[in-house]
């Protein structure tokens, strides 16, 4: 897989754009600058890889916009060694960014062909998170608790099971709203009984399906 001078140049420009949009964490910007996003695209579509936009990856799903990936990642305040659950593996791009920050990533995908495809592809890029197939709207209880949980699909409400599966001091970042747009919500679990909830800008994600998501 080629990563040429030109690709690296386009990536640098993308990092500048994301920084201008408000991402300040040097570690997050470095991770975006490091991962070869064009490897997630067909050769004919490489020009799209370094634009700050979401892109279809088949199965009616998308690789999230780089700014969105950076925004969610920054809000998670990843420390090296954090055990992180990602709900919605998709292309695997978000998982690679988390791994660049030193996270131990558990990622779950509900779309079987996408799960199979990404599980095969990501190790070829040198990234081996722990892959799971299933309904991540209920989290992944078998491996809980987690230091951080990131949901990369739009939820109608915050699934209580996800808060349960967080360590004390843990952070959940999840887009919550209707099927068109969602507010980014950050939940910090301060104790078993107390959470702190913060809401940020609107984003637009594909829907979170499953028991705690949208019923289809
Ligand atoms: N994180 C991905 C990336 O880096 O490419 C982007 C994910 S895409 C915007 C949302 C993903 O969530 C889709 O692949 C979709 O199949 C998946 N999804 C939807 N509902 C889910 C659920 N209940 N459990 C796990 N994955 C789910």
Domain ranges of the chain: 54-203
Is 210 close to ligand 1, i.e. is its CB under 6 Å away? Answer: yes
pTM for the model stands at 0.97
Residue 204 is among the residues annotated as catalytic for this protein: no
CB 91 within 8 A of CB 38: no
Residue 12: pLDDT above 80?
yes
Query: Quick check: helix, strand or coil at residue 69?
Result: helix
According to CATH, the topology of domain 54-203 is Rossmann fold (3.40.50)
- Rg (Cα) of the chain, in Å, rounded? 16
Give me ligand 1 centre to Cα 6, in Å.
30
Give me ligand 1 centre to Cα 160, in Å.
19
Is 91 close to ligand 1, i.e. is its CB under 6 Å away? Answer: yes
Question: How many helices and strands, by DSSP H and E, does the chain display?
Answer: 7, 9
Catalytic residue, chosen from 4, 25, 64, 191, is 64
Give me ligand 1 centre to Cα 187, in Å.
20
Is 118 close to ligand 1, i.e. is its CB under 6 Å away? Answer: no
Nearest CA to ligand 1 atom 18: 88
Give me ligand 1 centre to Cα 5, in Å.
31
- Tell me the pLDDT tens digit for each residue of 134-176: 999 999 999 999 999 999 999 999 999 999 999 999 999 999 9
Q: What is the pLDDT of residue 60?
A: 83
Average pLDDT over residues 7-13: 95
Residue 216: pLDDT above 70?
no
Distance CA 49, CA 40 (A): 8
Half-sphere exposure for 37 (CA within 13 Å, toward CB): 32
Distance CA 157, CA 65 (A): 22
Nearest CA to ligand 1 atom 14: 90
Query: Quick check: helix, strand or coil at residue 216?
Result: coil
Q: What is the pLDDT of residue 192?
A: 94
Is 94 close to ligand 1, i.e. is its CB under 6 Å away? Answer: yes
- Residue 133: which residues within 8 A CB-CB, separation 6 or more? 108, 109, 110, 112, 115
């Amino acid at each position: 897989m080629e990563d040429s001078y030109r690709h690296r140049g386009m990536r640098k420009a993308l990092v500048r754009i994301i920084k201008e949009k408000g991402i300040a964490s040097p570690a997050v910007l470095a991770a975006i600058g490091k991962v070869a996003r064009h490897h997630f695209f067909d050769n004919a579509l490489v020009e799209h890889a370094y634009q700050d936009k979401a892109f279809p990856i088949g199965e009616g799903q998308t690789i999230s916009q780089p700014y969105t990936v950076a925004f969610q990642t920054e809000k998670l305040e990843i420390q090296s060694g954090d055990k992180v659950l990602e709900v919605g593996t998709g292309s695997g791009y978000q998982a690679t960014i988390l791994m660049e920050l030193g996270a131990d990533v558990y990622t779950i995908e509900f779309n079987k062909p996408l799960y199979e495809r990404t599980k095969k592809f990501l190790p070829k890029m040198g990234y081996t998170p722990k892959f799971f197939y299933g309904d991540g709207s209920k989290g992944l209880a078998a491996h809980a608790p987690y230091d951080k949980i990131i949901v990369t699909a739009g939820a109608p409400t915050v699934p209580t099971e996800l808060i349960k599966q967080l360590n004390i001091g843990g952070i959940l970042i999840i887009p919550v709203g209707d099927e068109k747009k969602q507010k980014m919500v950050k939940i910090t679990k301060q104790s078993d009984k107390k959470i702190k909830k913060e809401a940020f800008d609107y984003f637009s994600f594909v829907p979170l399906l499953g028991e705690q998501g949208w019923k289809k």
